[in-house]
Amino acid sequence: MGAADPTEEHRAIVRRAFEAWQEGTRPITDLFAADMVWRIEGHSVASREYASTQEFVDEVLAPFGARFSAGERFWPRTIRAVLADGDTVVVLWDGHGVANDGRPYDNTYAWFLRLRDGKVVEGTAFYDSISFNDLWERVAPA
């Protein structure tokens, strides 16, 4: 690992970030560069491109997290795979939380992350938009 093998270095950086998020010791946003571009693919209510980390946090992550503030925080219950090739890391993971209405929210995500200097500069997310839309429309942010 190290500078001689950037693929393994990137895989380790992302794995550590996901494990810290899973344990509740660090938010996943610590992995994001300020100038990150994030895309949510598909047809969910949040599907589009976000031009910066701040825009993504303000328009998706903060209102999403607020839907769990009275329940159990949303977290990656299972990290199924962390695959890497050069500066790109793909994480397949299962997320879980209990929303403010007391109902569980479970979804499987595939995140494609491009790193530069140890931070994500470009991300693309795939997930079950039906489950996401149900949560977004059913539960108001606290």
User: 101 lies in a domain?
Assistant: yes
CA distance 126 to 38: 11
Residue 120's beta-bridge partner residues? 32, 115
Residue 76 lies in a domain: yes
* Rounded-to-integer distance, Cα 116 and Cα 79, Å: 22
Number of compact structural domains in the chain: 1
**Burial of 22 per CB tally in 10 Å (0-12, 13-18, 19+):** middle
Structural domain of residue 89, as residue ranges?
6-138
Q: Could you tell me if residue 46 is inside a domain?
A: yes
Band of residue 51 on the pLDDT scale cut at 50, 70, 90: very high
The whole-model pTM stands at 0.95
- Asked if pLDDT for residue 1 goes beyond 50, the answer is no
pLDDT tens profile 111-131: 999 999 999 999 999 999 999
1, part of any domain: no
CATH value at residue 103? 3.10.450.50
Does residue 73 lie in a domain region?
Answer: yes
